[in-house]
Amino acid sequence: MHCHSAASRLTKPEVRKAIFFGECATEPEAIYELAKRRGMDFVTITDHDTIAGAERVAHRPDFFVSEELTARFAGEPREVHVLCYGIDPDDHARLQERAGDVEAVAEYVHSREILAAVAHPFWEVEEPLTLGHRKRLAELFGVWEVRSGYFGTELNAPAVAFREACGGVGIAGSDDHGGVHAGLTYTETPAAESPEQFLGHVRAGLATPKGEQGNRWKLAQATAAIGLRSLPGGLGRAAGALASRAPRVRPKPAPAPTAAIDEPLADVVGL
């Protein structure tokens, strides 16, 4: 439900991106084959603000086209990633037109009955989201990604608690960027005969987040080091060594739920 291919754009200024390494180098066909080998009944690709990669495998009957839309709160420097599932090229174009206003995005997906989910809701895409922003996102989108294979429990646990407090559906996805973890974190529903039926089950709340959740920072650090070492001569060796030792920029951890679920969720996620 959350996976990237070589079609994803450069987005955030990590070291590997600052020197023009792509968001992901894995071809869409390889992502599809890996997910199928790992037992996925249905597969999608959610590249950043494009469906170019997904369209390359869209002819397969067990595949549905999706994207990870970068949307903004209108007039604010705050962004959120919205996973939009089962879309077509016209939907993609209309979503891009509305990306500057997350309210307009929500209005469009609801009018078109498109399943949409807030991706990694406690990850700071741009400026930090306030409690008010997250409350509004919970009102706009009934589905949240609560289990990410990219992030660990420090970000997944508050997403679970917030979603449970507000009501709605939780899903899972690998957020794979390297052709390694696709199909290891996934969303399970009752048996479905088609992608449309599968998405219908998710919309109806018949979804269970499954699979691993973990921290990919070491993998990102290694990728940066390998990429930097490809620079000429001593510059590459020095830059690679520096990238290997430099601390990565990490998200500010949100408070995790306590064992006593009866405690006020205000102590957990600020509600």
CATH number at residue 159: 3.20.20.140
Q: Specify the pLDDT at position 24.
A: 73
**pLDDT < 70 regions, the chain:** 9-23, 215-271
Q: What is the pLDDT of residues 86-108, one digit of tens each?
A: 999 999 999 999 999 999 999 99
Indicate the number of domains in the chain.
1
Q: Cβ distance 42 to 64 under 8 Å?
A: yes
- Structure-token pair, residue 225: 């080091």
Question: Within a domain: residue 237?
Answer: no
Question: Within a domain: residue 31?
Answer: yes
Q: Cβ distance 146 to 161 under 8 Å?
A: no
Beta strands in 178-235 (DSSP E): 185-188, 208-211
Q: Specify the pLDDT at position 215.
A: 55
Question: Within a domain: residue 238?
Answer: no
Question: Within a domain: residue 10?
Answer: no
Q: Specify the pLDDT at position 216.
A: 57
Q: Cβ distance 151 to 174 under 8 Å?
A: no
Q: What angle, rounded to 10 degrees, do the helices at 131-140 and 102-111 form?
A: 20
Which domain covers residue 34, as residue numbers? 15-215
Nearest CA among 197, 213, 205, 212 for reference residue 41 = 197
Instruction: Give the containing element (helix H, strand E) for 223.
Output: helix 217-229
Residues paired with residue 70 on neighbouring β-strands, in sequence order: 81
Q: Specify the pLDDT at position 183.
A: 95
Listed in sequence order, the DSSP H helices in 38-126 are 52-55, 89-97, 102-111
* Number of C-beta neighbours around residue 108 at 10 A: 17
Question: Within a domain: residue 258?
Answer: no
Question: Within a domain: residue 38?
Answer: yes
* Distance (Å, whole) CA 199 – CA 64: 10
Residue for token pair 């830059």: 239
* Distance (Å, whole) CA 10 – CA 3: 15
Question: Within a domain: residue 228?
Answer: no
Question: Within a domain: residue 2?
Answer: no
Instruction: Give the containing element (helix H, strand E) for 81.
Output: strand 79-85
Q: What is the pLDDT of residues 23-61, one digit of tens each?
A: 677 899 999 999 999 999 999 999 999 999 999 999 999
Q: Specify the pLDDT at position 125.
A: 86
Q: Specify the pLDDT at position 124.
A: 86
